[in-house]
Amino acid sequence: MPSTRRSFLASALALTSGIIAVACAAYPDAQTNPAIAFTVGQSRAADAARLQPLPLKITASSFHMDPSAFTLPVGRPVQLTFQNQDTVQHQITITGMPAKVLDANSFAKIKQVTSLTDLDAILSGIPNRTVSFIVDPGQTVVATFVPTAPGTFDLQCQSPGHRDAGMISKVFVTAPSNAATPVANGAVAAATAIASPTAMPINMPGMAMSQGVALATATPTPHQAVDPTLLPIAPGTTKDIAFKTIDTNLEIAPGVTLAAWTFDGRIPGPFLHLRQGDTVRFTLTNGSSMPHSIDFHAARTAPNVDYKSIAPGESYTFTWQAADPGAFLYHCGTAPMLQHLAEGMYGGVVVDAVDHPLPPVDRAFAFVQGEYYLTAPDANGIVRADLQKATNDAPDEVVFNGYVNQYMTQPIEVKVGEKIRVYLVNAGPNHFSAFHVVGTIFDHVWVDGNPNNDLRGVQTWTVAPGEGAAFDFVLSKPGNYSMVTHSFADAGKGAMAVFKAQ
């Protein structure tokens, strides 16, 4: 173990031991009841954390904000540093979030306080206001404030068109774990200690004790974008394919972790590439905590026989033939199907035609578009799929290949003049994809990815939930070409990518 990490752990253990020792002295029952000692220690550690202003940095670039989501605790001062790397002015607002907005004098006083009583005395004289500021191109603005009520809010640019272009970041504000009511116009009572593991911004994973006291901030782990390259077809005419359903926590945006239901522990599940006529011998093993099934849109089979739900711990094998060419969805078909899709249980299949295949291309990529409907983070900082939001068609994120804007920060590199093919499968579950690549026109759109369905010279093509398509195009000049759903409310929620042509 590196010496710096040993030193950190030693300091953390010393801090925890000191807190428990103080708790035992102040509360005699704590000496014989470790649970009381730890609970009091939690509260004191949280109180100490609340006295430290929480640093948060947001960068605006190419009309997008990084991070795209973060969590703040009620009652803790926040020092937000906003850097505008764009060439235009941005008008930033956290819409709907009540907060004590601090001027330089108030923030300077807060940095000097040593008790919650003093902190609350300063806050009690400051009215709730909306966090809002203007950032000129190339400039940095620092805003200081204290969130006063829990909820889910949007940090967005109010300049016309900027939000639709992607200038939005999700703000999750968590309540004190032992508070009965949110902070309103008065000060935060000292008893309402913030013992949330999301006391750090959600894009900065904390090195925390198992009970959830965030002792320090660890170095963030950069997201590695999913390689969208379409894999070649495996040899042989019989394909043995096995999936396992797995409940796992997956990061779906910087610092936003979903308690996901998955095929093989990923969202989307494995992307399959088959040849027309292949026989698929498929096995589904249920390694999760509830019944699941699978529905292959590429198969012609009786769903009540082959798409049946299986219980946890069971496996089921069936055989089907890839008789039709195209780009297809697969997904869990267990009721309520909307919930299973919103949890991430979907993937894509491409079946190449044999007699009249699509023309050869230099590069082929595969994407699955999907939507996330999210609850607020729980006590462990984890979000879940919200069935009511999905029923009301109110997504928080719309993504390509499972993660918000991953191909914006890590563009897909191609060459000028290459023939490019994109297979897009839309998992929905609710929204149509108005698929478009800015700066070019599709030479071909193969509806459902089928060679018999050839459209030419198309600017934008709609792919319905449960549908797929193939798009051929050439990028004629060096530069960055955005791939979007032209339903810009969805593009602004994460359904954007960039092809970098050189």
Query: Could you tell me the CATH number of the domain that includes residue 440?
Result: 2.60.40.420
- 254 and 379 within one domain: no
End position of a domain, from candidates 314, 334, 355: 355
Helix, coil or strand: residue 410: strand
End position of a domain, from candidates 330, 355, 380: 355
Is residue 194, in this structure, part of any structural domain at all? yes
Is residue 101, in this structure, part of any structural domain at all? yes
Q: How many CB atoms lie within 10 A of CB 371?
A: 27
282-295: average pLDDT = 96
- 297 and 242 within one domain: yes
Residue labelled with tokens 């292949």: 278
165-176: average pLDDT = 83
Is residue 23, in this structure, part of any structural domain at all? yes
Q: Smallest Cα–Cα separation from 208: which of 383, 343, 27, 382?
A: 382
* Tally of structural domains, the chain: 4
The predicted pLDDT at position 211 comes to 23
End position of a domain, from candidates 355, 383, 415: 355
Q: Which residue has the higher pLDDT, 353 or 68?
A: 353
With 90 as the cut, is the pLDDT of residue 194 above it? no
- 58 and 42 within one domain: no
Is residue 164, in this structure, part of any structural domain at all? yes
The answer to whether 428 and 331 are in contact (CB under 8 A) is no
- 198 and 183 within one domain: yes
Is residue 32, in this structure, part of any structural domain at all? yes
- 191 and 114 within one domain: yes
With 50 as the cut, is the pLDDT of residue 262 above it? yes
Residue range 92-114, pLDDT digits in tens:
999 999 999 999 988 988 888 88
Angle, CA of 62, 66 and 71, to the nearest 5°: 150
Is residue 463, in this structure, part of any structural domain at all? yes
Look up residue 120 and give its DSSP letter: H
Is residue 231, in this structure, part of any structural domain at all? no
Whole-structure pTM value: 0.65
Mean pLDDT for all residues in the chain? 83
Convert 399-409 to b/e letters by CB count within 10 Å (16 or more is b).
bbbbbbbbbbb
- 395 and 341 within one domain: no
- 44 and 54 within one domain: no
With 90 as the cut, is the pLDDT of residue 30 above it? no
Lowest mean pLDDT among 4-18, 385-399, 428-442: 4-18
- 201 and 127 within one domain: yes
- 190 and 58 within one domain: yes
The predicted pLDDT at position 221 comes to 53
Residue 323 belongs to domain spanning: 238-355
Q: How many residues does the chain have?
A: 502
- 487 and 381 within one domain: yes
The DSSP bridge partners found for residue 327 are 350
- 281 and 144 within one domain: no
Residue range 78-96, pLDDT digits in tens:
999 999 998 888 999 999 9
Any residues with CB less than 8 A from the CB of 207 and at least 6 apart, and which? 8, 12, 214, 215, 216, 217, 218
- 206 and 72 within one domain: yes
Is residue 232, in this structure, part of any structural domain at all? no
Q: Smallest Cα–Cα separation from 448: which of 430, 470, 477, 426?
A: 470
With 70 as the cut, is the pLDDT of residue 302 above it? yes
